[in-house]
Structure 1
C-alpha cells in the first residue's frame, strides 16, 4: 500500500503504482498531487481497516509528511512507535546506545542554545533538530566562532518550516559528537524474515569539512561491492532491536578509514526524500526499488553488474547557495548547465521561490570524469543564474 503526501511525487513512482496496480490511499494530499482516476485508489477508512487487520502490513511513503497520517490512524499497532524510534534522533540514540556505548549525545531546548557554555562540550560536535529534515538547522561546530554562528541562526524565526511538526520541530535539539569518515546514504528494507535488503548505496560528497549540504550523492558498482556486506552486518542488529519487518528506510552513516561504521540517522518508512534515491536505482541499475520492497524481492547484484562498466550515477541537488535572494533571480539556466555535465538523465525543476533549490538532476558520469562532479559540488551556481 502506498501513502503519498506533499511536497513531491515523481512520474516514475506514479508509473510504478499504475503498472503494478499497487493500492494507493486516497488522501486529499495524494489526490492533489496525482490526477489519475485509473490508479488503484483505496479510501482512507478501508486502508486503515486493511492495515489494522493485517499481520504484516506493507506501507511505503514518499514523504516525511505522510507520517502524520500513520500517527493519527494507526495507533492500535506498533508501527507508529517503530517509526518514532528512528524519526526522533534522541530516541534513535537511546535505542542504539548499547550497540555504540561510547557515542556522546545530549538533549537541548532551543531556548537554552543562547546561554549554553561551549566550554562544557567536547569539540567538534554537531547540533541539529531532534525532529528534522533536509539539513535544516544542522551545524558542525569545531570552535567558538562556529558556535557563535550557530547561535545566531538557531532561533524560531529562522527555522520556520514548510514541513509539519511531526517532520520538522525546532523546539528540541540534539548535540552529538561529530562522526569522522566518509558519509554514505543507503536505501534498504527489512523483509518478511526481518533480514535487511540493500537497494542502493550512495557516497555523499562534501565541498569542505564544514559543508552540510545535500549537493551531490553518487552510486556505482564499486561503491556497492565495497560496502554492501559490511552495511548489512551493521543494520541487522538495529532491525532486531526494533523488531523490523516489511520496513523501508533511508540510512545515513559515516565510515572511517578503518571501516568502522557509525550511524548518523535512519529515516523510516521511505527511501531518499523527493523520490530521489528510490528512482535512481532504476536509472542506474534497471531495477525498481519500490517494487522490490512491496514484492519482497532482492537485487541480484552479480547479474546487474555483469555487463556494466563502473559508471557513476549521481543525484545533484541544485541548492541555492548563490547569495542571491529568490526575489533577485529571474530564472536558472538549465541549458547552460547541460553543457557542463556529461550526461544528464533527468532534470526536475523546482520553484526556487518556494523551495531552497533550483532543481534536482540525475546524471551519469564516466569513470575518470569525476572532475565534473567536484566542480558542481563546489559551484555557487551564480554562473547559471539570470537576474
Structure 2
C-alpha cells in the first residue's frame, strides 16, 4: 500500500506504481501526480478498508507528511505507535537506553532553552527538534558561546520552519540535546520483512565540509561501502527490530561508526527510505528498485552487484539555497551550469525553489579515484546558479 505526499514524488516511484497493482491512496498529491496517467486510485474509505483486511501488510509513504493521516485513519493496527517510537527522538533514546548507557541526552521545551546552563552539557553536543526532518533546526554546539548562538538562531528559525512542513513532521515544542556521536556517518535504507528480518537496500556515506557541518548536501554509495559495513549494520538493525517488534516496515537510519565495531545511532526515520525519493539512488547505482523490493520482500544479491560496480561511486548532491537568499527574488536557475559540475550526471531533479530552500537534486556517477569532483561540491557556493531580480 502506498501513500504519496509532498514534497516530492519521483519518476521512478510513479513508474513503479503504474506497473504494480497495489492500493494507492487517492489524496490530493496522488491525483496531481497521476492526472495524465491510467492508474486506479483508492478513495480514503477503500484504502482504509483494504488496510483493515490485513493491518500487518507493508505500507510505504515517500514522505512523513503522511503521518497525520495515518494517525487519524489507519487505527486498527499498531502502525502509528511504531512510527511514533522512532519519529520522537526522545522516545527512541528511551527505547535503546540500555544499549548506550553512557550516552547523554536531554529533552528541553522550546521556551526553556534560555534556562539551560551550557556548562552542564557535554560540549561538543547537538541540539535539534525532538521530532524533525531534513536537518531543519539542527545545530552543532562546540563551545559555551556556541550554545547561546545556537539558541538565538533556533528562535529565529522556528517561525520560518513552521511554514514549510506539517506539525507531525517537525514538532518544535520540544528539543533534544545529545552528546556528539564520534565517527564516520552513514545512512541506511532498510526494511523488515514479514518475519521481522532486516534487509538492507542501500548504505550511503555522508560527506561533510567541516566538523561543524550538519547539512545534507552530499551522500555517496559504492560496493566498497556496502561490503565493508553491511554485516555490522545488519546486526544493529536486528536488535532495533526486535525491540520495536518490526515486521513489514521500512526505515531510514542514520548512524556513526568509529571503525572499531562501535556504532552510535543518530536517528531512525520510519515508514520510508531516504526522503525526497533520494532512495532512488539505489536504482541508478545497483538496479535496485526500493519500492518493489520492499513490497515484494526481495533481497539484493550484493555479491553479484559487487562484480558490476567496483571502482565506481554514486552520489546524491542537493542544490541548497542559503538561508540569506530571498527566494522570492530568484528569477531562474542555471540548471545546466549546476549539472556541468559532474562528469557523469545520471538524473537532475528540478525543485520548486519558491516553495523549498532547494533548487535541485542530482544523482551522479564518479570514478572512485576522482572524489575531488564531489569534495569540490561540499565547499561550492551555489548562489552562482541563481539568477536574481
TM-score in same-fold range (> 0.5) = yes
RMSD: 1.5
Distance 1:62 1:231 in 2: 23
Asked if the contact 1:249–1:271 (Cα under 8 Å) also holds between the matched residues in 2, the reply is yes
Structure 1 position 267, deviation (Å): 0.4
Question: Structure 2 matches for 1:159-178, cutoff 5 A?
Answer: 159-178=161-180
1:305 partnered with 2:328? no
Alpha-carbon distance, 1:334 to partner = 1.9
Separation in 2, partners of 1:49, 1:327: 43
Kindly indicate whether the alpha-carbon contact (under 8 Å) linking 1:60 and 1:270 is maintained by their aligned counterparts in 2: yes
| CA offset digits 1:107-127 (Å, max 9, x no partner) | 100001122211121211111
- Listed one character per residue, the Cα deviations across residues 244-300 of structure 1 (whole Å, up to 9, x for unaligned) are 0000000100111323111000000101111012x1111100121110000001001
Q: In the superposition, relative to structure 1, how do residues 46 and 112 fare at CA in structure 2: closer, same or farther (>3 Å)? A: same
Q: What is the rounded CA distance, in whole Å, between the counterparts of 1:38 and 1:322 in structure 2?
A: 40
Equivalent residue number for residue 315 of structure 1: 316
Equivalent position of 1:289 in the other structure: 290
1:183 corresponds in structure 2 to: 185
Q: Cα–Cα, structure 1 residues 154 and 55, in superposed 2: closer, same or farther, change >3 Å?
A: closer
* Alignment partner, residue 18 of structure 2: 18
Match of 1:65 in 2: 65
Identify which range, 320-329 or 15-24, moves more after superposition: 320-329
Residues 174 and 194 of structure 1: is their aligned pair in 2 closer, same or farther, counting only changes over 3 Å? same
Q: Is the 8 A contact 1:206 1:213 kept in 2?
A: yes
Q: How far does the alpha carbon of each residue in 1:17-58 deviate from its partner, in whole angstroms, 9 at most, with x for none?
A: 111222211123321333245213222112112212315221
Secondary structure, aligned partner of 1:93: helix
Counterpart residue number, 2:52: 52
Q: Deviations over 1:311-355 (max 9, x none)?
A: 111110111138432234332212222332111111111122221
Match status 1:358 vs 2:359:
yes
For these two proteins, the number of residue pairs brought into alignment is 386
Q: Give CA deviations for 1:86-124 in whole Å, capped at 9, x if unaligned.
A: 001011001111222221111100001122211121211
Q: Which moved more, 1:178-187 or 1:22-31?
A: 22-31
Q: 1:55 to 1:7 in 2, by over 3 A?
A: closer
The alpha-carbon distance between structure 1 residues 84 and 248, as it changes in their structure 2 partners (threshold 3 A), is: same
Structure 1, unaligned runs of 5 or more: none
Q: Name whichever of 282-291 and 255-264 sits farther off.
A: 255-264
Aligned equivalents of 2:175, 2:351: Cα separation in 1: 29
- Stretch moving more, 19-28 or 5-14: 19-28
Normalising to structure 2: TM-score of the pair? 0.96
Give 3-state SS (helix, strand or coil) of 1:274's partner. coil
The residue number in structure 2 matching 1:248 is 250
Does the residue aligned with 1:346 lie in a helix, a strand or coil? strand
- 1:5–1:29 Cα contact (<8 Å) kept: yes
Q: Pick from 205, 208, 231: which aligns with 1:206?
A: 208
Q: 1:196 aligns with which of 192, 195, 198?
A: 198
- Indicate the residue corresponding to 1:111 in structure 2: 111
